[in-house]
C-alpha cells in the first residue's frame, strides 16, 4: 500500500514554509510522496490579489521540481469550483483505492477543522497530520497525528505584500517561482 501525503492550500504563492512542511512530514511518516494540491476556489478564505488556479498550480510544479518525493496534484484545479476536501478525497480514493492518504494541515487549519464540510466522514477517509504554526493553538477533538517541524513564520500574504512593495523575496520562495511571478507580473511584481 502506497502512503501518500496531500498538502492542500491556495499556494498563492508557494514558499519555503510549504516545502519544509511537506518534506519534514514525508520523512517523519516515511511517506512514498507528498503532493502539493492547490485549491480551485477555497471554501475557507477569500482570495484577493491572486493568481489564477492554473498559475498557482504551475508555481507549485516549479516549487517541487527536482525533489523526487514531492510532486503536485491537479485534482482540485482540474475539477474546478469550490474545493471541498471531502469531495476531493472521495475522488482520489476512487482512483487510488490501494493508497493510504495523509492530509497535511497547518495549525491554523487544525483550529478550524470543526468547520470543514463533512468533517466527521472525512476523518474516516484520511489520516490528518497536523503541523504547528506560529500563532495557532492546534487543538481539536478530531484525530490528528502531530509532527514536529521547524517553525517557519511565513505566509503567502507576507510574500504578496513584499512583491507589491517591490521588496526582496530572496530565499523565501524558490528561484523558479520568483522568476515565474515576475514574468507573469503577479502580485504587483
141-188: per-residue pLDDT in tens?
Answer: 899 999 988 888 888 999 999 999 999 999 999 999 999 999 999 998
Domain boundaries, the chain: 2-151
* Coil, strand or helix at 108: helix
The residue behind cell 483505492 is 97
Lowest mean pLDDT among 36-45, 121-130, 156-165: 36-45
pTM above 0.75, yes or no: yes
Q: How many angstroms separate the CA atoms of 149 and 22, rounded?
A: 10
The pLDDT of residue 133 is above 90: no
Architecture of domain 2-151: 3-Layer(aba) Sandwich (3.40)
Residue showing cell 506560529: 134
- Quote the crossing angle between the two packed helices 16-29 and 53-64, to the nearest 10°: 60
Instruction: With H, G, I as helix, E, B as strand and everything else as coil, classify residue 143.
Output: coil
Amino acid at each position: 500500500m502506497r502512503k501518500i501525503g496531500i498538502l492542500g492550500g491556495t499556494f498563492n504563492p508557494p514558499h519555503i514554509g510549504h516545502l519544509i512542511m511537506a518534506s519534514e512530514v514525508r520523512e517523519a511518516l516515511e511517506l512514498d510522496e507528498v503532493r502539493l494540491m492547490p485549491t480551485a476556489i477555497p471554501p475557507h478564505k477569500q482570495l484577493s490579489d491572486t493568481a489564477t488556479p492554473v498559475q498557482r498550480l504551475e508555481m507549485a510544479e516549479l516549487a517541487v521540481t527536482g525533489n523526487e518525493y514531492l510532486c503536485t496534484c491537479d485534482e482540485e484545479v482540474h475539477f474546478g469550483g469550490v474545493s471541498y476536501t471531502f469531495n476531493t478525497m472521495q475522488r482520489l480514493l476512487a482512483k487510488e483505492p490501494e493508497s493510504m492518504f495523509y492530509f497535511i494541515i497547518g495549525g491554523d487549519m487544525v483550529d478550524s477543522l470543526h468547520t470543514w464540510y463533512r468533517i466527521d466522514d472525512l476523518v474516516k477517509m484520511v489520516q490528518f497530520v497536523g503541523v504547528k504554526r506560529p500563532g495557532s493553538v492546534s487543538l481539536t477533538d478530531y484525530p490528528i497525528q502531530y509532527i514536529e517541524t521547524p517553525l517557519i513564520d511565513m505566509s503567502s500574504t507576507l510574500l504578496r505584500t513584499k512583491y507589491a512593495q517591490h521588496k526582496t523575496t530572496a530565499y523565501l520562495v524558490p528561484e523558479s517561482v520568483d522568476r515565474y511571478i515576475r514574468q507573469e507580473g503577479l502580485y504587483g511584481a
